[in-house]
Structure 1
């Protein structure tokens, strides 16, 4: 029986995880574009937004590859949200640094994302709890809001950015609480049940 389990386990060295690592490597490229733009240079802002969107799209690509090809691994379930948090965290810090986003918004997002990442690491021995549907919606809202801030919209359209970000922050808090509850519930059921929630 142990032998058959080893055979059916996909290798962590697969295309889905390569895409995830690629997203992590795009984070410093994105940050460099933002810094060079100073958020007041049209074409560098466009470049920063495009790099951010390309990196963000890989989140959906690696997930699709992992599920469609049976390449879901513990590494992927852990690395994927870490890659998301690195990208989102870098983006909100830079937006706040350039005065486009209130620092309290960035702090709320960072506290939630770092806290959940640490919680994932703390419970990994009992099994990795995958991101919920609400967590994915939260990510989409965050991506949309950040891209809205990055793109050099004319003022009437740019004014929608804070409203999109407000929705993203609300869902960020709600899904953070939801994840803590899921970890607590899985811990009460024991290690075997915690693993089954992945």
Structure 2
């Protein structure tokens, strides 16, 4: 029997029980959520002017991002994907990146308008997923993954006290290039998701049956 095949009893297919939520991938996800307030406190300490705590904040952010990669890969490899993980993982991701952009804007590293655009996109796409949930699930696209990677990379660079680095202008320029790239991909993927959502609402089985019922009543 293959790992994903459902066991049978007397020819009747039996559902495969979901793994226990008490596992390492979910523990890493919870750790990432718990690291968010620590990260925020470190970035905002002394108004963001303390280089030492900024480096500590970068370290906490780096650990959180690493757990994001590990927990998903581990859950899929070990068959430990759970409902809790599916819900908590994107919450942890958005809490971490959202806290990063907000705190960096609070200390003047990133303009507020960029933070507002990015957070509005995240909230809008989340609400849109719920809007089309009756028609089907919208999976994360490759562009969405690139967006998340660029956002995390930009946050990581701006958290670093760049004034302490040699050739500061070069590092700051790199940080801005990546941030603008993240902003462009964020907007582009938002447009792509809107198109996919509208297509899903018009082509799903639910939409087709609704059109058939409406046609039947019109006869």
Match of 1:53 among 62, 65, 88: 62
Query: What is the match of residue 183 of structure 2?
Result: 169
Q: Aligned equivalents of 1:81 and 1:141: distance in 2?
A: 16
Q: Aligned equivalents of 1:177 and 1:78: distance in 2?
A: 24
Structure 1 window deviating more from structure 2 (121-130 vs 55-64): it is: 121-130
Query: What is the match of residue 216 of structure 2?
Result: none
CA contact (8 A) 1:78 1:128 kept: no
Match of 2:98 among 89, 102, 112: 89
Cα 1:56–1:117 change in 2 (3 A) is same
What CA deviation, in whole Å up to 9, does each residue of 1:75-105 have, x standing for no partner?
A: 3233222211111111111111111111110
CA contact (8 A) 2:136 2:200 kept: no
Query: What is the match of residue 181 of structure 1?
Result: 195
CA contact (8 A) 2:136 2:204 kept: no
Q: Does 1:43 align with 2:52?
A: yes
* Higher share of residues assigned helix: 1
Query: What is the match of residue 138 of structure 2?
Result: 129
Equivalenced residue count is: 190
Instruction: Give the TM-score taking structure 1 as reference length.
Output: 0.85
What CA deviation, in whole Å up to 9, does each residue of 1:103-124 have, x standing for no partner?
A: 1100011001111222334445
CA contact (8 A) 2:135 2:204 kept: no
Structure 1 window deviating more from structure 2 (120-129 vs 17-26): it is: 120-129
Query: What is the match of residue 33 of structure 2?
Result: 24
* RMSD, aligned α-carbons: 2.2
Shift of 1:8: 4.5
Q: Aligned equivalents of 1:114 and 1:135: distance in 2?
A: 14
Cα 1:17–1:126 change in 2 (3 A) is farther
Q: Does 1:4 align with 2:29?
A: no
Q: What are structure 1's unaligned runs of at least 5 residues?
A: 192-198
Instruction: Give the TM-score taking structure 2 as reference length.
Output: 0.77
CA contact (8 A) 1:77 1:128 kept: no
Larger Rg, first or second structure (1 or 2):
2
Q: What are structure 2's unaligned runs of at least 5 residues?
A: 1-7, 207-219
What CA deviation, in whole Å up to 9, does each residue of 1:144-193 have, x standing for no partner?
A: 111111112232222321111000011111122222333333333236xx
Query: What is the match of residue 111 of structure 1?
Result: 120
Q: Aligned equivalents of 1:126 and 1:12: distance in 2?
A: 28
